[in-house]
Structure 1
Amino acid sequence: MSLTSLPDECFTGVLFFLDNKSLYKCLFVNRYYCKLSIPLIWRDPFILPTPRQFSLINTLISCLNDDEISSLIPCAINFNNRTPLFKYGKFIRKIDHDYCVRHIISWLNSSSRRSYGRVPTDVSRYQDCRIRKLVNVIYHMIMREGSNIQEFVVIVNWNNFIDLPNFSTFSSFKPGIMNLKSLDIEAYLDLINDSTIYKNTIEFLSKVSRLCNSIINCELCFSRLDNALTNTFLDIIKLQPLERILIDTENYSVNFRPLERILNDNENHSEMENIEKILYALEFRSKTLNELSFRNMDFQIIGLSFLSKLEKLERLEFLECRGFVSKNYDTLSKKGFHLKELKLWHEEEFFYNTRVFNGFGSTLKIMEEIINSLCNESLYKLSLNIIAPETIKAVKESCPNLSFLHIKIFSEQDLDSMITLICEISSLKFLKIEIDHEYYASQLVKTLGDYLNFVEYLFLDFHIDLLSFEYFTKNCRANLKKWIIYIEGEEDLRKDYLKYVNNYQKVHNSLKILGINKGYMCEFDWTNDELEIINSLKDQRFKFM
């Protein structure tokens, strides 16, 4: 069967896996390829613009109707009006508002350069009234042409923010945003002096939850919560069938401050109460929420009892969080969770004082309590950066079916006993290890060589010296299928690293994939001797990454 005899839906599914560079080549194959490639190319056009990337706005302007063109005339916006080959606006499925504005500014800079031989500064350009007019007409055209927007990203982060169009632009055309699936909101209001510059954005957020009924993914990132923003978040959580939520308090004004200062500061305490409102509103998503992530959160005065209401929760992440308090987990221990994935990545600066690791203190005991409360036989994937014999023992007892473990080690203290305990987990198939200092890397690798048995996929995200590497390959009993190693520099020794991999393969005959992390700004130019070893491995159906 030829490709053109496939249904369009099937052929589009094939083209979907191509990158944009390959899709552009498809435009020149024939009319059929062109017709199916254009919607995929235009699905997400608002990527980060390059300095000379002007064609996007030129093409969008060519799609404007007479009324939209007429609205630009008072602003003295000059452009070449040409007939478009397609209604490009209707193919757009994702809008990143910030990138849209940047594309418009790049286009205006290009126009100024052609007309006047000079370009205004970025700040003065953002104050150009033509930007808002172009934003309004481009959004209007996209909605008018019948676009079915699936993803929307808006970032409010400085005094030169260009607001969204009036909400009527979104509500007057169908489908427009009615079938929105993903909403990414970043609002750093403490960086803005005048709240009127984002009033349309607040209106959009307050009404989108009533116009739409199918948002399943939402990212809420903020540095300060006022009541208006809090209410928009609450409506989205309560009214949409969310399956995934990320809550990020990056740059939050009370984040990581002593508890006494938070409680004595009325304004900041009020904002913490708004965060609690959002967290406890998650109960409305008890039947739908599958994935929940927190980033940069301080849980000093925030309990986690709301987690016990989330019946469908399978993936839970704490990324760079801190302030966990033991009393907050009493109610969790009585709840039968069914998590499949858990990431407990504590905020790392908490453990340092003048670059010296001070130990985990009381946090270690709290992490044990969290593991015992949240983990059971359903968990198969776990990421931890608070690693000690106590936490590994808790993992072994609470997670009998654990198959994936990602850890970061901060000290050589108890290193041998920790690695030995990890190697005893018979269900463990994937192991990724990061370290904070390479001075104990040799000890770690040799201990792995002595005790690793069950792991099939090993990722060591640090440089390994050649002697330790040789020791590991000679002594490791595990039959690795996929192995990712980190080689930085060591050009004169690369052949020896490959030779030891080859020797390991001769003994085990298990490796299918070898990944080599080359380090930042490193490129390998393999020698003939190295290529000979590589080709020998490839002859064994061995793949390099």
Structure 2
Amino acid sequence: MACSKLFSGDLPELINEVIQYFHYDYKTLHSCIFVNRLWCRLTIPLLWEDPFSIKSPKNYRFIESYLHYLNNDDKVKFNDYIINNDLFPSNTLFNYPRFIQRLDTHKVCNFIEKWAVTVGSTSTTKEQHSSYFIQNTNLSSSQMSNFTKLVIRSLFLIFIENGVSLHSFEVIMFNHKEFEYFDEIFELILQNPNFIYNIKSFKLDFNTITNNITRFSTFLYSNCNSISSLHFLFPSYVENYPTEKCLAQIISSQENLKKILFGYSEFPLHHSLLSLKHSNCSNTLNTIIFYHIDFGNIVVLSEAFNHLNVLESIHIIYCYSLDSKFIQQINNITKPFKLKSLFLGFLGEVDESLERLIQKSGDYLENFGISNDESQQLLQLIMKYCSKIKYLGPIRLDNQSIYLLLSLIENITQNLSYLIIDAFNVDYSSIILKNLGQILPIKLEYMYLCLTINTSDLEVFLKNSQNTFIKKLLIRNIRKEESGDIFSYIKEYIMKKKKVKYLAVSETFHGRNEDLFFQKDKVKEFQLHDIQVLKYFDLFIDIYDFINETY
């Protein structure tokens, strides 16, 4: 009875909770819109709140759904470039622009460029086919760039005119072209501050300081005070004093800042760190992430941290100068230093400063990785002081550290959920496969194995890991001539016994990559066993994204 009411629409609040559970599961959400009108009405906003973040879409035609909302004057501007077979249909089932909640300028530009390619191509597939086509397919690069700029500006104008108030806005610019695209929308945003007035999450990632970047930063601290998550990645090797001072003003102007990330800076961060002492931040900020930061010139850590009253997690990801001067600042902090993540790159020798840091953070540390030749000493320290590791890897392996890694995994199975093992060496791969399966926990959220796989070793691993369910399994096999076919073993021990939910497999042989996702017959066979095969890079977890989404 309850189930029939659920599908008939008699329990709308409960239905909405069910649909919200499938947030970002686009395949399931697409199925939901066909249940009935109520399910469709509740599902459509989720499908359209962040369409530019969909990984590997079948096509980019949703952009055309937005362009339907252009006014007549703006439609005329497209006449120099494209012909639309449907000539901008006037009616759509929903006001799709109103649903947009999250925008990332890099992704928007990338999607528009790919859509422009399909518009200009005469050889698109049926799924990619567009109702638009470019009048002259031999457009110069500058003409194509102007067309892309027109589309970008048109989309942002459509969002603004439809009363969108963004929840999340990411401004990401890696090349000259993306700076030009940003300039197209910059004035629009300045003229329409309500568009980003209520943003809760903001990210600024750029590699060159321009006048518009500085103006935009000034605009932010004058108009946006509701940001709860702020990510600021500085341009590397560029003196960023003016921009860093603007960041300090942005921080001080926020009323509910809970998370902040500092990335790619070799400079002191003096103003931005001291701005954390502001009363708004001191009683709201609970997460700080340092990403590729050089602590060598930073001297105000203890002064800033001693004012943070509700700080619950600190994350240090591939940072530098974790030396005695840095540790002295940590020791001067009167509050607990709750280091949850420590990922280390090049360090040189491991000294007592780093040992004191790990010892001080042992009760808090949950995520650890080391891509350094000193991994043996560091693994020993982790085994000695840290028992709550949930995310482990990558770990640089050698003859000694490989066995320390296996011992550590066995010691932390109670908490371990994410395991990343990267071992190109044939001998190390064999040791891993022969000894890993029997020490895995009953359940893993994610496991990534990058190995040179011998099939007999793989069979040993799969047999020994039969008691472990892995939600997301990612395998990269560096094949040798004598390696053999791994799929018969994956089929026997993973597919038939349903030991994973999501699977990705990539094999590299003589420099050529083969992704299981594109082997459609095999993919269908896995689907029959309720295992979803994804593209390798769609299942791959980036540390930056993992920390950002988890904390």
TM-score (norm 1): 0.70
SS of 1:321's equivalent? coil
- The one-letter amino acid of 1:237's match is I
SS of 2:289's equivalent? strand
Asked if 1:362 is matched to 2:349, the reply is yes
SS of 1:288's equivalent? coil
Partner of 1:266: none
- The one-letter amino acid of 1:43's match is E
- The one-letter amino acid of 2:344's match is W
Partner of 1:159: 176
Partner of 1:286: 282
Q: Distance in 2 between matches of 1:156 and 1:135?
A: 14
Deviation digits for residues 126-153 of structure 1 (CA, Å, limit 9, x no counterpart)? 3x3x765655554333223222311112
Contact 1:183 1:218 (8 Å CA) reproduced: yes
Deviation at 1:189? Answer: 0.9
Deviation at 1:89? Answer: 2.2
SS of 1:46's equivalent? helix
Contact 1:206 1:231 (8 Å CA) reproduced: no
Deviation digits for residues 17-63 of structure 1 (CA, Å, limit 9, x no counterpart)? 16445545655655434433332232123358999967444433332
Name which one, 1 or 2, has greater alpha-carbon Rg.
Answer: 1
Asked if 1:183 is matched to 2:169, the reply is no
Deviation at 1:168? Answer: 6.7
Counterpart selection for 2:161 from 144, 152, 155: 144
Q: Distance in 2 between matches of 1:138 and 1:544?
A: 34
Deviation digits for residues 352-393 of structure 1 (CA, Å, limit 9, x no counterpart)? xxxxxxxx64245443232123x1424444444456454344
Decide whether aligned partners of structure 1 residues 334 and 6 sit closer, same or farther in structure 2, where only a CA change above 3 A counts: farther
Contact 1:140 1:169 (8 Å CA) reproduced: no
Decide whether aligned partners of structure 1 residues 7 and 124 sit closer, same or farther in structure 2, where only a CA change above 3 A counts: same
Decide whether aligned partners of structure 1 residues 411 and 286 sit closer, same or farther in structure 2, where only a CA change above 3 A counts: farther
Deviation digits for residues 148-175 of structure 1 (CA, Å, limit 9, x no counterpart)? 311112223433412154557566575x
Partner of 2:363: 377
SS of 2:103's equivalent? strand
Report matched runs for 1:32-181 at 5 Å. Answer: 32-47=38-53, 55-65=61-71, 69=74, 72=77, 80-85=87-92, 86-101=94-109, 110=119, 114=133, 116-126=135-145, 128=146, 135-160=152-177, 161-162=180-181, 163-165=183-185, 169=189, 172=192, 174=194, 176-181=195-200
- The one-letter amino acid of 2:104's match is D
Counterpart selection for 2:292 from 287, 290, 296: 296
Q: Distance in 2 between matches of 1:516 and 1:402?
A: 24
Decide whether aligned partners of structure 1 residues 27 and 396 sit closer, same or farther in structure 2, where only a CA change above 3 A counts: closer
Decide whether aligned partners of structure 1 residues 414 and 167 sit closer, same or farther in structure 2, where only a CA change above 3 A counts: closer
Decide whether aligned partners of structure 1 residues 169 and 296 sit closer, same or farther in structure 2, where only a CA change above 3 A counts: closer
Aligned residues: 483
Decide whether aligned partners of structure 1 residues 515 and 132 sit closer, same or farther in structure 2, where only a CA change above 3 A counts: closer
Deviation at 1:74? Answer: 11
Decide whether aligned partners of structure 1 residues 71 and 288 sit closer, same or farther in structure 2, where only a CA change above 3 A counts: farther
Report the RMSD for the aligned CA atoms in angstroms: 4.9
Deviation at 1:430? Answer: 4.7
Decide whether aligned partners of structure 1 residues 48 and 75 sit closer, same or farther in structure 2, where only a CA change above 3 A counts: farther
SS of 1:300's equivalent? helix
Deviation at 1:429? Answer: 4.3
Asked if 1:211 is matched to 2:238, the reply is no
Counterpart selection for 1:461 from 446, 449, 458: 449
Contact 2:350 2:377 (8 Å CA) reproduced: no
TM-score (norm 2): 0.69
Gap regions ≥5 residues in structure 1:
256-271, 351-359, 506-510
Q: Distance in 1 between matches of 2:103 and 2:172?
A: 12
Q: Distance in 2 between matches of 1:50 and 1:388?
A: 36
Q: Distance in 2 between matches of 1:433 and 1:49?
A: 22
Deviation at 1:328? Answer: 1.4
Report matched runs for 1:258-269 at 5 Å. Answer: none
Partner of 2:516: 523
Contact 1:308 1:337 (8 Å CA) reproduced: no
Asked if 1:242 is matched to 2:257, the reply is yes
- The one-letter amino acid of 1:183's match is F
- The one-letter amino acid of 1:186's match is D
Q: Distance in 2 between matches of 1:526 and 1:64?
A: 39
Q: Distance in 2 between matches of 1:474 and 1:131?
A: 53
